[in-house]
Chain A
Amino acid sequence: MIIEVVNVCKRYVGDKLTVDNVSFSVDRGTIYGLLGPNGAGKTTLMQMIATLLKPTSGNIYIDGLQAPRDTLEIHRKIGFLTTEVKLDPISTPNRLYDFFSELYDIPKNEIKERRERDFERFGITPFADKRIVDLSTGMKQKVSIAISLMHEPPVIIFDEPTNGLDILTSKMVTDYLLELKSQGRTIILSTHIFSLAESLCDEIGILVDGRLVTSGSAKKLTEQTGSANFEEAFFKIYSENHKE
């Protein structure tokens, strides 16, 4: 178990729980998907796992570490990707990579080598000295991935990985996720796209109104609900659990 979420609740204002007593765990080297409609609490849960938010109650362990005591250690172990985390539009991929490699404390003699390798991997090299603002959305996402994962973290937290990307870049991203998985990394991703969840994830947790109502592989969930396909299974589960 590399990620353990135990009875986590999150309340912003008032009485409403945005995340309501969620517990699950993720095995090393697997992909866990959080599936739910907008506003189900996916992003909040992901940000809590990434230590950006504090749970109102409950515990989150990453490789046995717990925030806020081990925040820095956790930061070394995770890579967090989201559409909210953006890149400085005036800067260039090269400069940003160097800046963050200082913050991640990557050995000085390795920086250049790693940068060239990562940029080559994503095809960023021709754009390495262009300003971020001039890059296409897909290229920005690639730069963002390259920078967020430069410290080669064992755990990758990916909030809406293909949101706003064209099909080619989406394909590139999903392929990369599978490659990361094959390297033995653990990935937790949130999405509202069934096909993505079905094709990528080893286990899927379904979030409805902040509660984790069920979890299991796509196949298992389909069988459980007696549905023809995963999409139908999701809607069944959703309508059973959603309260107006």
Chain B
Amino acid sequence: MNLRAFKAIFLKAFGRNGNGGAKASATTFVICVVFIFAVLCSIVNLMLSGWLNVFNAEKQKNILLVNAPDSFDTYLYQVHYDVGKKVSHISADSAYDASEYNKLMKIHEAYMTIYFPTDFEKTIEKGKKAEILTYVRNDKLVYSEWHTNIVNNVLDGYQNHLKSLYGVPVTSDPPFEVEIESFNYEGSSGVQFITNYFAKVIVPLITFIAMLYIGMSKGTNAVSGQKEKGTFTGVLLTPVRIRTVISGNLCGIWLATAIPALVCFPLICLMYMSVKALLIGIVLILTLSLLISTLTLMISIMNDTVVSAQTAFLPVFFILLAVCITCMQGVNDVSRFYYWFPVYGHFYGLGRCLAEGYDNAIDLILCVLSTLFLAMLFTLISGVLLKTERFTTTVESYSDKRASKYLRALRREELNRSKPLKAIIYDYVPKKYVKTGKLLFHHIRYPLIVLSVYQTIAMIPAIVALSKTTFFQDMLDTLKRLSDIRDSLSASFEIFSKLMMQPVYILCIGFGYLALIATYFIKVRFLEKQPLRTCGIYPSVKKGIIDYLLGMVLGIAMMGSVFLLLIITKRAEVTSIGLGSGNIKLFVFYILMWIPQGFSEELMFRGYMMPRLSPRFGKAFAVFFSSFLFALFHAMNKGFTFLALINLILIAVAYALICLYTDSILMTSAAHSVWNFAQGNLFGLEVSGNASAASIIHTSYLKGVPSYWSGGQFGPEGGLFVTLVSVITIGIVLLLLLLRKRKRQPAS
């Protein structure tokens, strides 16, 4: 090893000599702010519970009496009436079981215990000397004051009371002696809580933050900063080995990372008066800072600029943030094997050596070894990387690279523009080129966001309106019972099915769908600057009305045939007919809701998505992709099965083909609305997992009908009859499309 070169590189990496200091990128800054905010929130959260404990400590005013004889009771209630109100009686054999008394005192909110031996009265009767034991909690000074008071007044008075009871002279020896034990109260309260909390949470956390920040700023400057400035090649051209370059930089970063913690930690150890904690803490700090510096050095070598290195450091930041927060929540109950891992072992270990004393050498050794192993791995990778020319020197400078990247993008754009548009639906011609992945992602994300936003907003007024009813109380009770994910799913289904019976909610989601339609219109008209024609709305009013009416007929025909099939094949029967008078309001609201509901879903999938996908991918893909997404959007509904998925895809394909045939979405939106209405409010069946609430005909499935016929909880859309009807519809529409194509071809 070339020691001179090592020293020079080490000093350069360690000091700011000639280094510009960290130029933190905006992203890093934001992450830091979020990190600190999250940390503050957790601290406040933990402190709150802690402080509550501190204040509660004043309230532990009870006295726990163990095996107290009757004479003591009578004495207490006669003479010390005030004290007598605060006692709790128990009986126990063992006088010295500390952990047991700990629990008991916690339960009885006691600050002291008076223990009488079981044979106390017999001993005194025999004229022998008995012994009484008192415990006092030592976590607050005031407890020992109160305790002294009890011993001096109450127990002294009891001595005299016993003397008079057994008729012995007042001047004789006291019949019993009091042994006083100071009780080491376990648990989080008072001063102990704060010192414990400080050691286990604050100290490790601040150590982590300081090390991460310094490690990042030094590490990213060390190599990637030099690469950015173009000074790194100069170092590589000198007769210095790569390993000297790495070890010099590493030691510089390491020392810079460790020093603040190494200075502060002994001061903290002074507070805890522990030399052992100091030694173990230093070992932990050195290994942790080594790990962080090897990691930053490796990231630094991989990147060409400080900003890109810091951005690459972000995942590390995120992971350590997650680790710190999980550690903070579990500091009082740590599984042993956590001590063996890097980072976890360091966080818990720093707290452990201060608060409890780190007694287990094996834990420490394993932690150090696993950390050293990781650090060595990172260093080896750094070495390999530095020998690869991609990470050492670049013929292209940074600005050249950006320029060539931009040129490549331009070329790709031109190439794509020259490609013909595959198929056009509703006269939609895209105005600008969007990358394929981005285009698909947009069409998955956009409906998801819009739909969830409006459905959530629609729930708010409904819940506010219902907040004073029993429904709301029921809902809260349901939510309180939740224990796991499956529970919460079924609970949310339960709440939704109850909500669907509330006219207010139906009205609200109706407005939600209207808002959704408006959002799509605004997007098409003002953001894309396309006419509404491009989302399947035909400009002719007359044709529009005819289409809509035909769509209503189509919807009722399709649903009606499914219903008839269910009845004819004896899989369901009509139980009663007639709408209850109380349900009329709900029934009307349902009709009002289905109209925008059908229109909005058609607009999203058939009106907006389909024509925007087909120019790039062709009609077939556009139909299938939009249908598949349509089906997936219903996947969160109750009772969703694989058959339901297939059925929904088939229905969607049928609708999409109808849209292609009629060149608009009006017919299908009418069919969609009427389909849902007929299903839920005419025939009384479930609509995509939502049970019907107000229906004219009441239907029930006959017993023993398998769910692949009936569709189970999802409704007929999960059953085979819908499959049949939609396949027939698809066949008819395909035939119509083909006929039209054949008719047009000879003409052209």
A176-202 vs B: 1/0 string, CB under 8 Å? 000000000000000000000000000
Say yes or no: is A112 at the interface (Cβ < 8 Å to chain B): no
Give the CA-CA distance A147 to B397 in the complex, in Å: 22
Asked whether any CB of chain B lies closer than 8 Å to the CB of A44, the reply is: yes
**Which of B2-10, B183-191, B421-429 has 4 or more CB atoms under 8 Å from chain A?**
B2-10
Residue of B nearest to A82 (CB): B233
Question: B231 within 8 Å of A by Cβ?
Answer: yes
CB-based contact A96/B18 at 8 Å = yes
17 interchain pairs, CB-CB under 8 A? A53-B395, A72-B239, A72-B240, A72-B241, A75-B240, A78-B237, A84-B230, A85-B231, A86-B229, A86-B234, A88-B229, A90-B19, A95-B18, A102-B4, A103-B4, A103-B235, A105-B2
Answer yes or no: A100 CB below 8 A from chain B CBs.
Answer: yes
Question: Is there contact, CB below 8 Å, between B5 and A102?
Answer: yes
Verify if B238 is at the interface (C-beta below 8 Å from A): yes
Chain A residues contacting B233 (CB-CB under 8 Å) are: 52, 82, 84-85
Chain A residue nearest to B244 (CB atoms) is: A103
A78 to B9 CA separation, bound complex (whole angstroms) = 21
Q: CB-CB < 8 A to B9: which residues of A?
A: 103
Partner of B231 from the list A50, A53, A86 (CB cut-off 8 Å) is: A86
Determine if B8 and A102 form an interchain contact, defined as CB atoms under 8 angstroms apart: yes
The contact string, 1 if C-beta is below 8 Å from chain A, for chain B 497-515, is 0000000000000000000
Closest beta carbon of chain B to A228's beta carbon, Å: 35
Q: Across the interface, which residues of B come within 8 angstroms of A80, CB to CB?
A: 237
Q: How far is the CA of A87 from the CA of B233 in the complex (A)?
A: 10
Q: Say whether A103 contacts B19, CB under 8 Å.
A: no
Contacts of A104 in B (CB 8 A): 238-239
Complex Cα spacing A181 to B547, Å: 92
* Interface presence of A76 (CB below 8 A): yes
Interface residues on A, range: 20 to 34
- Residues A52 and B389 in contact, CB atoms below 8 Å apart: yes
Q: A90-B18, A90-B20, A95-B18 are in contact. Are A76 and B397 (CB under 8 A)?
A: no
Residues on A with C-beta less than 8 A from B395 are: 43-44, 47, 53, 84
Contact A54:B389 (CB < 8 A) given known A75-B238, A80-B237, A103-B8:
yes
How many whole Å from A240's CB to the nearest CB in chain B? 27
Count class of interface residues, chain B: 20 to 34
Instruction: List B214-231 residues whose CB lies under 8 Å from chain A.
Output: 226, 229-231
A85 touches B4 (CB 8 A): no
Chain B residues within an 8 Å CB radius of A96? 18
A47, B397: Cα distance in complex, Å? 14
CB-CB under 8 A from A82, the residues of chain B are 233
Chain A proximity of B708: nearest CB distance (Å):
55
- State in angstroms the CA–CA spacing of A75 and B233 once bound together: 12
Output the nearest chain B residue to A105 by Cβ-Cβ distance: B4
Is A85 touching B234 in the complex (CB atoms < 8 A)? Answer: yes
Nearest residue (CB) in B for A102 is B8
Shortest Cβ-Cβ A-B pairs, 6 listed = A86-B230, A91-B18, A102-B8, A103-B238, A75-B239, A72-B239
| Residue B236 CB within 8 A of the other chain | yes
Cβ contacts under 8 Å, A105 to chain B:
2, 4-5, 239
Residues from chain B with Cβ under 8 Å of A44 in the complex = 395
Residues of B contacting A75 in the complex (Cβ-Cβ under 8 angstroms): 237-240
Which B residues touch A90, using CB under 8 A? Answer: 18-20
B393 interfacial contact with A, CB 8 Å:
yes
> Closest CB-CB distance, B31 to chain A, in whole Å?
26
Q: In chain B between 226 and 266, which residues have their CB closer than 8 angstroms to a CB of chain A?
A: 226, 229-231, 233-241
Is A89 an interface residue, CB under 8 A from the partner? yes
Are the C-beta atoms of A100 and B238 separated by less than 8 Å? yes
Report if B452 contacts A (CB, 8 A): no
What is the chain B residue whose CB lies nearest that of A80? B237
Chain A nearest CB: distance from B284 CB in Å? Answer: 34
Given A86-B229, A95-B17, A102-B7: A50 touches B2 (CB 8 Å cut-off): no
Report the Cα distance A44→B389, complex, angstroms. 12
| Of A84, A88, A148, the contact of B397 (CB 8 Å cutoff) | A84
CA of A103 to CA of B10 in the docked complex: distance in angstroms?
12
Known contacts: A52-B389, A72-B239, A99-B12. The answer to whether A88 contacts B5 by CB under 8 A is: no
Given contacts A78-B237, A91-B18, A102-B5, 15 further A-B contacts (CB under 8 A): A44-B395, A50-B237, A52-B233, A52-B236, A53-B395, A54-B389, A72-B239, A72-B240, A73-B239, A82-B233, A84-B395, A90-B19, A96-B18, A103-B5, A103-B238
